[in-house]
Amino acid sequence: MLKLKSKRSLQLMLGAFLLPALLFTLVLVLKQTYPFGGASLLRDDMNYQYVSYFAYFKRHFGDLSAFLYSYNMTLGGNFLGLTSYYLLSPFNLILLLFPIHQFPLAIYIITMLKLSFAGLNMVLLLRFRQKQLRTYFNLASTNHISPLLFSTAYAMMSYSMVYSLDIMWLDVVMLLPLVILGIERQLAGHSSLLYLSMLFLSLIFNYYIGFMVCLFAASYFVFRFIQIKFIDKQTLPTFATGTRFALSSLLAGGSAAFLLLPTLTALRGIKGTVPYQFSFNETYNALDFVLKLFGGSFRYTDLWLGPNIFAGMLVFCLLIFYFFNQQFKLTERLLAASFLLYLFGCSYISGLNLIWHGFSAPQGYPNRWAFVFSLMFILLAHQEFIVAKRPQPEFSLKLFGLFFLLITLLAKLYPTIFNSKIVVYNLVFSALTLLAYVHFKSTAKPRMIWPLLLISCLDLTFNAQALFAANYPPIAHTAFSQYVAQTQPIINRIKQQDTSFYRIGTTFQRTEDDPLLLDYPGVSHYSSSEKEQTIHFAEFLGYLRAGRWTNYNNGSTLTADSLLGIKYQVTTTTEQHDAMILANGGLAHASKQEPLTATQPVFTHNHFSVYRNPLALKLATVTNRQILAYDFQQVKTPNIFARQNQLLSKMAGKSTNVLLPAELIARQTAADQLNYRYQVKQTGATYLYLPMKTSIELQPIDLTINGKKISNSYSDAENGIINLGQYRAGEELSISVRSQDAHTLAMTEQPQIATENYAQLKTTLMALKKQPVRLTKVTNTKLHGTVTVKQAKQVLLFTLPYDKGWHATVNGHQVPLKPAAGELMALPLKQGKQTYQLTFTPTGLRIGVVISLIGLLSSLLYLGWEGKVNQRHKIES
């Protein structure tokens, strides 16, 4: 008998693990997704962000410092926030087994495994609950296959399908059943080990979703405590039970402090952060919630239409049956309804919803904690399935009638989402599910559960493929592979030829995270961990800034590139390469321009050309102390080129006007275009910058210079500086700004034109280079070198964002680093030869480690004490 039970348990767990993998694979086959077709799982942020982070993870795995600080995000920055949010999943180790160009395959495997473990963990929770229900309701036996119905529903729920592209969230979704199982075991008088350890891992794997799990765990504990003590009338000491839960929760959080504390510190001042304000405004229309109770109810263009809570038609039907089942006490059903209403209120009311999102409005994807609805639906549906007797056919018929009316209404209200295909799908599977369930309950044959399982799996599969079809368009796996295969060798060759520290710019991009994907210091980046001040500094210098990211793309001026140490520029002008970029979802050449003037050709390979900037400064340069008092955030001039002149002047300690504005001669307004005529005032490289009053809802703009089209820019708020090439003093430029959209044209301001005096720029920069600075050691968290200062009132300026995590010594003595230019950091120096050392330690890491050690030790002591107490209670009973 024991062997039979053990065999059945193994089969059940194996089925719970394999069935989601099979169904997810079937979905990819149906959608012709790699490795079963040309499309890939690279959609939206998975394509634009995460795959690049994964490439960085693979390249730097084993180097802890690379995950604390990185030079590959904009100008460099604290990388711990990005690491802790995106890269701490243990499943990421699978990436190490694949070359980067094969990451679409690795992502499929990782996603499949996370869904499989979600099913496995859910079946463990359901088996525990099934034993509890069998004891409480005095049931003779229960179908041992039944948990498979609901574990698969959890693994394949709409939330996981819609947000499968946000792969880092799925780890905590996977762990949630074990967190809840830990609470159930605590309430049953067992050890707190499972709850404490799973909550700890939830906070480690993804602190953001982990925070949501913390809120739900506390809410669920209160719900179950009230149910067990006051409705089921079981003995449950209030103070002792509450203390155990609270203490184990605090110990889990304290043990994770080594990560949480420095992460929260690193994320201060990130983009999109606004102070929390409570509001009773609705997050979505209440009817949207009803829509989301059905399958296929998603469209990526309507992200904010309620939370994705569907977990299969079987779960939905049984949830309704539960609330009408008089086998359960009325007070129990009212408590369950109140708890669901509480969750709905937290989702519906904006102020409460923001609390669940970490007191901050989510960027892009809303309702990120909706998976807790699905879990609660499944637990209640499972209880109904286990306990309920044969349902009345009349009630089932009435329920189908209700579904028919709701589906018809939703089809009229949401025609783009609830199209005819989705309507038929919901009607067919609601009917099949009700028939199969009633038939199963009407017979005493356990094998009749298999048709119900088949219908449920088909339902979940159809829902998943419908959601994939309505989600963001995928990128072809060949497009990604080709881009990596063609571009990576160029970056590698540059690094092989020049082993010093420098930055690289490209006049094309796959995404803003190319520096992470291809592994080079640049000035482009996009993540939820980017400091807003850094974004604005890049924009201040004229680098392309689109909303929440920074981008080198078409570059800036030779002046700005030189100041920031952008030593190499990679260009390509072939239409084939542009097509490949567009196939990757990236930006091709919005403006057709030449390499920066005075850069020197280094090599060409296929359609790539690499140029070297001989004026590029090093990472550290001795500059005048005036740079300390200069703050770019206080600069009032709107002219990009005047700003660059100011920054260069402060560094040099004397006024310089390298970039000379062109003179506006004439301006003319037409129906669909603005015409300008400028006269160049000096000979040199000439640049254009078109300021915009807003970057919201702009349509493409065509720019022509002297009758030649040079750009179809700004369709993606692409407001970077455009290099127009060489012009002589006295030459005139006729500029046309054209758009078919009146709003877009009204949002354009007068173009800024300036010409660069190369000789003056070279003289100024060479003067800065005269005071020799050597970098003898460069790692992600350490900068060592020597410097010879020949003049007084000088500082060693590092073109890195100022961060309190950096600490410096000069000749063995600690010297405080100073903010410079409002964004960079500088080291005050005395005259003479000096040895400097800079070390980076994320702020809060040391104290976080101490708290974690105390938390871990306290956890061990607490669990040991708890074990002895539980053992004593067993002996006494």
Tell me the per-residue pLDDT of 344-390, one tens digit each, with 9 for 90 and over: 999 999 999 999 999 988 887 899 999 999 999 999 999 999 999 88
pLDDT value at position 716? 47
CA 616 to chain CA mean position, Å: 33
pLDDT digits (tens, 9 = 90+) for 114-127: 999 999 999 999 99
Say if residue 580's pLDDT is above 90.
no
pLDDT value at position 508? 83
Say if residue 736's pLDDT is above 80.
yes
Taking the C-alpha atoms of residue 820 and residue 627, their distance in angstroms, rounded to an integer, is 6
Of 64, 156, 63, 58, nearest to 116 by C-alpha is: 156
Measure the CA dihedral 481/486/491/495, to 10°.
100
Of 258, 217, 111, nearest to 171 by C-alpha is: 111
3-state secondary structure of 786: strand
The overall average pLDDT reported for the chain is: 92
Q: Do the Cβ atoms of 534 and 526 come closer than 8 Å?
A: no
Q: Strands 566-571 and 503-506: what pairing?
A: parallel
**From edge to edge, which strands make up the β-sheet containing 600-605?**
503-506, 566-571, 608-612, 600-605
pLDDT value at position 698? 73
3-state secondary structure of 293: coil
Of 501, 511, 465, nearest to 784 by C-alpha is: 501
pTM of the model: 0.95
Beta-carbon-side half-sphere exposure of residue 299 (alpha carbons within 13 Å): 12
pLDDT digits (tens, 9 = 90+) for 152-207: 999 999 999 999 999 999 999 999 999 999 999 999 999 999 999 999 999 999 99
Helix axes 146-155, 2-30, angle to 10 degrees: 30
Taking the C-alpha atoms of residue 356 and residue 559, their distance in angstroms, rounded to an integer, is 46
pLDDT value at position 1? 45
Taking the C-alpha atoms of residue 383 and residue 392, their distance in angstroms, rounded to an integer, is 18
Helix axes 257-266, 238-255, angle to 10 degrees: 60
- Tell me the pLDDT band of 757, cut-offs 50, 70 and 90: very high
The alpha carbons of the chain give a radius of gyration, in whole angstroms, of: 31
- Tell me the pLDDT band of 104, cut-offs 50, 70 and 90: very high
Instruction: Record the tokens describing residue 874, joined without a space.
Output: 């067993």
Specify the DSSP element, H or E, that contains 107: helix 103-136
Q: Which residue type is seen at 198?
A: M
- Tell me the pLDDT band of 273, cut-offs 50, 70 and 90: low
Which letter, b or e, does each residue of 27-54 get, where b requires 16 or more Cβ atoms within 10 Å of its Cβ?
bbebbebbeeeebbbbbbbbbbbbbbbb
pLDDT value at position 717? 44
Instruction: Record the tokens describing residue 249, joined without a space.
Output: 């929760």
Q: Which long-range contacts (CB under 8 A, 24 or more apart) does 495-498 make?
A: 495/520, 497/602, 498/567, 498/568
pLDDT value at position 719? 61
Taking the C-alpha atoms of residue 120 and residue 130, their distance in angstroms, rounded to an integer, is 15
Task: Compute φ and ψ for 362, nearest 5 degrees.
Answer: -65, 140
